[in-house]
Structure 1
Amino acid sequence: MSINTHWNFLKLTDEQQEISDSLAEELGISPILTQLLAQRGITSFDEAKKFFRPDLSHLHDPFLMPDMDKAVERLNLALGRKEKILVYGDYDVDGTTAVSLVYKFLLQFTSSIDYYLPDRYTEGYGISYTGIDYAAAHGFSLVIALDCGIKAVEKIEYAKELGVDFIICDHHMPDAKLPDAVAVLDAKRIDSQYPYEHLSGCGVGFKLMQAFAINNDIDLALLYQLLDLLVVSIASDIVPITGENRVLAYYGLKKLNSSPSLGLKSIIDICGLNDKDISISDIVFKIGPRINASGRIQKAREAVDLLVARDEIFAREKSDCINQYNQTRKDLDKTITDEAAAILDKLEELSLKKSIVVYNSEWHKGVIGIVASRLTELYYRPSIVLTKSNGLATGSARSVPGFDIYKAIETCRDLLENFGGHTYAAGLSLKEENVEPFTRRFEAYVAENILPEQQHPLIDIDATIEFKDITPKFFRVLKQFSPFGPENMKPVFCTKRVFDYGTSRLVGKEQEHLKMELVDSSSENVMNGIAFRMWEFNDYLKALNPLDICYTLEENTFNGNTTVQLMIKDIKTEPEH
């Protein structure tokens, strides 16, 4: 817990300090807030205005993406000739929302359209030969592949032989050789001049639909109706919430909160979020996992059936099913995490290792990504969890902040049958006999390249403040920093030497949480806070000892009263310097 967590106080460079000072003058807001802006790379009044007032007019021209003109031309041709179009996507949240968005939008212009999601167990990740055969056998001459396909060189060749054209919309790292598809849309292409490279897979699908709409004089308001799907993908795929993603997420949340599609509404209801202002973290922890559970436990197609649903009773039944899958997923995830931890705890040399690779041929393939995330949290090391699927050891990798796990896996590519992903999450498959040499090589690379500060939990602290700084205006402006997410995380503040006001107490079923009422020396302000699972600080606090705390600021509504609450992230009894 707090003993191992290092507090990293972010400091402004001289240049950032100058920017912060001038922004404080121009914007007339607290210097603490302009310090946060400077840390987020905002350097001018105009940039600050764009940041605080996201607008759909800030979206980039989709035709700046390589191959976009070719993609639109082929799509127009298909619609003009009434060709059958198949929308193909990966089985995770990003893939299923991408398929739903593109399918729903194009359905307004053609009825010769269907969708296809590969089976996680029989086909595996990405474009599959089975999927191509299905398209050819059912007369689909154009496939729009979403959130996958950037490495499918041989498969696209095979599709061409069968007379099936592909438009690829992906956001994963490309290899030097691109598939010979009609169009390959990926802002991470080496030759891409597109101004923003962090779109989700659904985001790339959205850009294709935006380009199609512009080219055909279709009112973009029709497309913006689907931004609720896009924000679910942005949040769930953990892409940066900066630049274009921030604009899309901002308007997506508006739509999700005001008038979500029928399918998303039924998921919101089942999560118990219907009376809440839904945030990015609600999507990450509640909505996303339920959509994901469909592809993990059953068929991803069911998630798309729900997301494109037009009948309320059908939507309710499907969301009940998906909720049940999610419960099954939770049970599996707990069992496998416990089994993996038991394996690791028996390893004598575990304390010397910088990485984790575990393999059990019996584990359920649908949850190994989640288990990899759990192990990364538990042991704070880049982690890979492998199981057996289609005769190969197949797995998921998750990383710690700052360490590029994709690159680490890539250095062992000669031992792999397949791999793909990005900095913090990747998938891979290899022959069983290569698991051991891969484990050794992967460990050697991690040991050589991981930095000391990437080997223990770290909390970045944006600013040290006093309670008197937390005014209503301060909090009002702070709320406009949202939506929060990667590269625009909710600011973390530190206040030093705080004391119990006399009314702090333990709460929770097992008295495991600390409900705090705190004061500092700067003002009479009594601040309410909640410290989950930090019961052990209670006696120290009650003895009127000073604490240093770090926290985020939340709104708490109780009995119709809304107050600002400290969400305590960590506590130190010894001062941090």
Structure 2
Amino acid sequence: MQKRWTVKAYQPNQEHLLQSSLRIHPLLCRLLVQRNVHTYEAARQFFRPTLADLHDPWLMKDMDKAIARIELAFFRHEKILVYGDYDVDGTTAVATVFDFLRQLYNDIEYYIPHRYREGYGVSPQGISYAKENDFSLVIALDCGIKSIDLISDAKAAGIDFIICDHHLPDAILPPAVAILNPKQYDCPYPYKELSGCGIGYKLISAIALKRGLPESAPNKYLDLVATSIAADIVPMTGENRVLAFHGLKKVNEDPLPGIKALMQLNQQKEPLTISNLVFVIAPRVNAAGRMDDARKAVNLFIENDPEKANAIAAILHADNFDRKEIDSTITQEAVALIQNDLSLANKKSTVLYQSHWHKGVVGIVASRLIDKFYYRPTVILTQSNDMVAGSARSVSGFNVYEAIHQCKDLLENYGGHFYAAGMTLRPENVKAFQEKFEEVVARTITADMLVPEIVIDTELMFSDITPAFYNILKQFEPLGPENLRPVFLARHLRDTGFSKLVKDEHIKFSVRQGNTGPTFNGIGFYMAEKFHLVNSKKPFDMAFTLDENEWNGQTSLQLKVIDIR
């Protein structure tokens, strides 16, 4: 798959000003300016974030109303239901708020909607459960901001809602007693990009302050907050960066028993990073909802007995193994469908439907098709009871939600974001949807959107790659959106003669820049088709990130190669 390389713009004046105060390598100042770090104080907060940098939770609109309603429920001995979505953000948020509140109050339960029987967010079944079991207060986490009709029904039945959500509100809001969402147009809270669990953390922080509890009381849950930030792909800026930094510290020094159990199952020895949370912890948590019941994830997070936590973690681990087997099989079937139908191979979009595919992994399969095989907006559909349900994923710069919105006359329901969306439709409309979606994409997508983009932070000379440079680069962690791992460009490299193919798929690089500069080793996964550029004896350019390699007790810097040309 050919890729286009885009080098970010530089701001030399800003870089020079920052370098004069920090006295570090100019290229590190370039990376900081690109991340909106312009001053010594901003750099201090970036490299040494403290919990004191967090904003006062009482600044959030309706926080006073939320706390007053919870306190009233305590006073009246009302039944409280903590309600949240089945994904990582939802389950971590529910575990955080439920576990904190149950230490203060007994008459409290939690509810996670079933992915297949109820779907995303506040559900009619959830409202029925609250009515039938005499709950008069529901705290909805990571959902609820769009559930106007259902929350109106609940209000009519005498059930109050506190909504803690981070999704973009519509002009009309549900009739909740309090809505905690910094994205409300009139919310004065300074940071707008918290995860759902992050808002739950703010809620318990306010309760702790109100009740005169130790300031550190909510910090027991920082590893859950960091997991939600990693999995929900929110910006790694401001408060998210502070919470992720200290959440990782807790993960590595004093994790909750459930997090520790998942780490041990994966035989994780070195300190965990955000990347480990994304690729080790999050898939196992998500697998609970994808393959069965997400309540298992909450049970894991609130379990204090290490043996019981280990047992639940083993079930999630097995669910994730099953999920991987299923999504691998479906991906192979999807690729075969495209390869065996020339009309599909030449389209600007991919829309595939098979009734037997597992609903829990269609989004993963859509992402995998884009990443590995066909870089274009993709929808994977499957049978769900008497309807067809599916997930859409997009490519850089293309609004897949808007494209699906233009097909709304063929859909029963839909929702989502710029890069990901879900929908349901009747089986008889599948073919028409395939044709309409392709027509919309073909009309609106540009040619360069169909070519994967590598965004490069800066050009870097091999002579600048030193242990001192890398030691500061490591402190850019935690990494995430708006603070991604820096990608470098090195020009005019030559093979030293020792580069080779590994397992006929990967390239093990040994390269030099110029005749006298340092030699670096690197690894390029699944790049075998470009090996002819390496051993052609001609110079080539390389896009890469920097990494450490440990071998026989020796640690050295290596290049993690993304592309060459």
Match of 1:225, SS state, is: helix
Match of 1:194, SS state, is: coil
| Residue pair 1:173, 1:421 contacting (<8 A) in 2 also | no
Does residue 385 of the first structure (1) align with residue 380 of the second (2)? yes
* Deviates most, 411-420 or 354-363: 411-420
Pick from 513, 521, 525 the counterpart of residue 532 of structure 1: 525
| Residue pair 1:93, 1:237 contacting (<8 A) in 2 also | yes
2:471 partner letter: R
Does residue 62 of the first structure (1) align with residue 39 of the second (2)? no
| Residue pair 1:467, 1:522 contacting (<8 A) in 2 also | no
Instruction: Name 1:201's counterpart in structure 2.
Output: 196
| Residue pair 2:208, 2:217 contacting (<8 A) in 1 also | no
1:430–1:182 CA distance, 2 compared to 1 (3 A): farther
Instruction: Name 1:547's counterpart in structure 2.
Output: 540
**Structure 1 CA distance, aligned partners of 2:72 and 2:129?**
22
**Structure 2 CA distance, aligned partners of 1:201 and 1:388?**
30
1:450–1:186 CA distance, 2 compared to 1 (3 A): farther
**Structure 1 CA distance, aligned partners of 2:271 and 2:204?**
28
- Tell me by how many angstroms 1:539 deviates: 5.8
1:212–1:447 CA distance, 2 compared to 1 (3 A): farther
**Structure 1 CA distance, aligned partners of 2:279 and 2:306?**
24
1:315–1:571 CA distance, 2 compared to 1 (3 A): same
Instruction: Name 2:161's counterpart in structure 1.
Output: 166
2:43 partner letter: A
* Deviates most, 477-486 or 197-206: 197-206
Taking structure 2 as the reference length, the TM-score comes to 0.95
1:23 partner letter: L
* Deviates most, 316-325 or 41-50: 41-50
| Residue pair 1:173, 1:420 contacting (<8 A) in 2 also | no
1:543–1:354 CA distance, 2 compared to 1 (3 A): closer
| Residue pair 1:172, 1:421 contacting (<8 A) in 2 also | no
Match of 1:426, SS state, is: strand
- Tell me by how many angstroms 1:511 deviates: 4.4
- Tell me by how many angstroms 1:334 deviates: 1.4
Does residue 569 of the first structure (1) align with residue 562 of the second (2)? yes
Instruction: Name 2:464's counterpart in structure 1.
Output: 469
1:292 partner letter: N
Matches within 5 A, 1:485-504: 485-504=480-499
| Residue pair 1:468, 1:522 contacting (<8 A) in 2 also | no
Does residue 305 of the first structure (1) align with residue 303 of the second (2)? no
- Tell me by how many angstroms 1:537 deviates: 4.6
- Tell me by how many angstroms 1:152 deviates: 1.0
1:83–1:19 CA distance, 2 compared to 1 (3 A): same
**Structure 2 CA distance, aligned partners of 1:441 and 1:539?**
42
- Tell me by how many angstroms 1:503 deviates: 3.3
- Tell me by how many angstroms 1:414 deviates: 4.8
**Structure 1 CA distance, aligned partners of 2:280 and 2:163?**
30
2:561 partner letter: I
- Tell me by how many angstroms 1:522 deviates: 7.5
- Tell me by how many angstroms 1:301 deviates: 0.5
- Tell me by how many angstroms 1:435 deviates: 3.7
- Tell me by how many angstroms 1:358 deviates: 2.3
- Tell me by how many angstroms 1:345 deviates: 3.3
Match of 2:547, SS state, is: strand
Matches within 5 A, 1:304-453: 304-350=298-344, 352-377=346-371, 378-453=373-448
- Tell me by how many angstroms 1:413 deviates: 4.0
Does residue 112 of the first structure (1) align with residue 107 of the second (2)? yes
- Tell me by how many angstroms 1:187 deviates: 2.4
Unpaired runs of 5+ residues, structure 1, are 573-577
1:420–1:66 CA distance, 2 compared to 1 (3 A): farther
**Structure 2 CA distance, aligned partners of 1:185 and 1:405?**
28
1:528 partner letter: N
- Tell me by how many angstroms 1:280 deviates: 1.3
1:430–1:213 CA distance, 2 compared to 1 (3 A): farther
- Tell me by how many angstroms 1:543 deviates: 5.5
Match of 2:272, SS state, is: coil
| Residue pair 1:256, 1:278 contacting (<8 A) in 2 also | yes
Deviations 1:182-233 (A, max 9, x none): 2222222333333222222212212222222233332231111211011111
Match of 1:29, SS state, is: coil
**Structure 1 CA distance, aligned partners of 2:345 and 2:506?**
30
Unpaired runs of 5+ residues, structure 2, are none
What root-mean-square deviation, in Å, do the aligned CA atoms of Structure 1 and Structure 2 show?
A: 2.0
1:340–1:436 CA distance, 2 compared to 1 (3 A): same
Match of 1:379, SS state, is: coil
| Residue pair 2:262, 2:313 contacting (<8 A) in 1 also | yes
| Residue pair 2:338, 2:345 contacting (<8 A) in 1 also | no
Q: State the aligned residue count.
A: 564
**Structure 2 CA distance, aligned partners of 1:392 and 1:67?**
39
**Structure 2 CA distance, aligned partners of 1:211 and 1:290?**
31
**Structure 2 CA distance, aligned partners of 1:150 and 1:339?**
37
| Residue pair 1:172, 1:422 contacting (<8 A) in 2 also | no
Deviations 1:426-479 (A, max 9, x none): 222233344444444433443343333321111111111111101222111111
**Structure 1 CA distance, aligned partners of 2:35 and 2:446?**
23
**Structure 2 CA distance, aligned partners of 1:152 and 1:537?**
51
Deviations 1:94-116 (A, max 9, x none): 11111111112112211222211
| Residue pair 1:506, 1:512 contacting (<8 A) in 2 also | yes
| Residue pair 1:419, 1:429 contacting (<8 A) in 2 also | yes
- Sequence identity of aligned pairs in percent? 50
- Tell me by how many angstroms 1:24 deviates: 1.2
| Residue pair 1:499, 1:547 contacting (<8 A) in 2 also | yes
1:409–1:536 CA distance, 2 compared to 1 (3 A): closer
Instruction: Name 2:513's counterpart in structure 1.
Output: 520
Instruction: Name 2:280's counterpart in structure 1.
Output: 286
Pick from 270, 292, 296 the counterpart of residue 290 of structure 2: 296
1:66–1:196 CA distance, 2 compared to 1 (3 A): same
Match of 1:163, SS state, is: coil
Pick from 257, 270, 273 the counterpart of residue 276 of structure 1: 270
2:369 partner letter: L
1:209–1:404 CA distance, 2 compared to 1 (3 A): farther
1:463–1:409 CA distance, 2 compared to 1 (3 A): same
Match of 2:562, SS state, is: strand
Matches within 5 A, 1:86-125: 86-125=81-120
Instruction: Name 1:456's counterpart in structure 2.
Output: 451
2:280 partner letter: K
Instruction: Name 1:575's counterpart in structure 2.
Output: none
- Tell me by how many angstroms 1:43 deviates: 2.2
1:437–1:151 CA distance, 2 compared to 1 (3 A): farther
- Tell me by how many angstroms 1:540 deviates: 5.0
- Tell me by how many angstroms 1:156 deviates: 0.7
1:89–1:523 CA distance, 2 compared to 1 (3 A): farther
Matches within 5 A, 1:8-87: 8-12=6-10, 16-87=11-82
1:284 partner letter: V
- Tell me by how many angstroms 1:245 deviates: 1.0
Match of 2:138, SS state, is: strand
Match of 2:188, SS state, is: coil
Instruction: Name 2:3's counterpart in structure 1.
Output: 5
Match of 2:216, SS state, is: helix
Deviations 1:117-147 (A, max 9, x none): 1111111111111111112222222111111
1:559 partner letter: N
Taking structure 1 as the reference length, the TM-score comes to 0.93
- Tell me by how many angstroms 1:292 deviates: 0.7
Match of 1:220, SS state, is: coil
| Residue pair 2:57, 2:203 contacting (<8 A) in 1 also | yes
Does residue 559 of the first structure (1) align with residue 552 of the second (2)? yes
- Tell me by how many angstroms 1:486 deviates: 1.3
1:527–1:166 CA distance, 2 compared to 1 (3 A): same
Deviations 1:332-367 (A, max 9, x none): 111222222333334444355332222233321111
